[in-house]
Structure 1
Amino acid sequence: MHVVILGCGRVGASLATALQRLDHTVAVVDKDDTAFHRLGKDFTGHQITGNGFDRDVLVEAGIESAAAFAAVSNGDNSNIIAARVARETFGVEHVVARIYDPKRAEVYQRLGIPTVATVPWTTDRFLRMLLPEGVATAWREPSGAVAVLQLPLHEDWVGHRIVDLESTIGARVAFVMRFGNGVLPEPKTVIQADDALYVAALSGTVTDVTAAALRGPEETE
């Protein structure tokens, strides 16, 4: 398939060369023509100098026949404008925009533009490397604002209601794995030994949520 990429920084260049290795045709757009040196000598795709939200520039890049568009420039506004033009004007099926501001990413997600929120994603990757096994996020929704993780729990929480745990840690228990089965918690659900709790937490609060859960109920009162 044909893919148009806005931005020839490290991410854009890496994405372009990876797509070419997978035998897709690629066009890269960047307003700075010196950025194309990152593509290397083996890159055979199109290199277009210009603004990625300019319709004529996009047409030159082959947007009318593109199956996918990625906006990965270093500007949130440019990325989202270009992504909306690709989706709404040219009807590109697969569109994604990189967004640095997670609050903006959440708004654009509601508009139907899939986003990769760079800061929460990077934070999550660091947490996977820094924290003990079991603390890393199991899933993150597309805007990057909410993460689901298996919660390491102090043993003294056994016998307490899940709603009491939630009010203490400031996160929502999404589901419980109990004896190999998934359970949706109710207000009266009590934590049992060997339960595996998965919580939904706002990005940036994972460390605090985890620390609170690792303290016993008495320690948090």
Structure 2
Amino acid sequence: MTRSIHIEQVSAKRLSRRAFFAGAAATILAVPARADDADDPYPLPPFDYKRLPPDFRRAVVAYNGRHWPGTIIIDTSSRQLYIVLENKTAIRYGCAVGRDGFRWAGLADVGRKVMWPRWTPPKDMIARSPEKAKWANGMPGGPDNPLGARALYLFQNGNDTLYRIHGTTEPLSIGKNASSGCIRMVNQDVVDLYRRVPVGSRVIVMAEGV
């Protein structure tokens, strides 16, 4: 990564994938998609979740960890995002994570939430892809914006990390290492997460191999 931020490394002892989701696959229940918000300027068309492998479709799973309800846990190895619920359960969503050289792990907090966010490519992204320079001052939010329908801005110690959990115009990238470090979700899924998560919520990003 070229972004000059500090991400606290997460140890295997503190974040054990087995401790969180052991046996989860045995107790999966479908979670129906909810309608768009009434004030949404761009209502979403239906998305056929059968286009995604089963492991990347929204579901309720068993949760055996110790984190408070409302905590977001991102497993970069399996490309899955969880939000902890009550009663030892969590909602699992498929996601896309950073491609090789752009993945990261650590702790952050949701510092800001935006509906149909404006996208401003970082300078290092413009250097890699000069065609994005036309959006150096920002691309307005909307159906063609790569941040999709919603964005949760990840902060650390009050500072914007430049990483986001956001929607996508490329839903078939879900389940892949495809981004520049941000966490992508199907638009319908990020809308659902957006409704459930207040500003200040803790986000735990687990490194591969943990």
Q: Which range, TM-score by smaller chain?
A: under 0.3
Pick 1 or 2: higher relative contact order, CA cutoff 8 A, min separation 6. 2
Q: Which structure has greater helix proportion?
A: 1
Q: Which has the larger radius of gyration?
A: 1
- Normalised to the residue count of structure 1, the TM-score between the two structures is 0.25
- Normalised to the residue count of structure 2, the TM-score between the two structures is 0.26
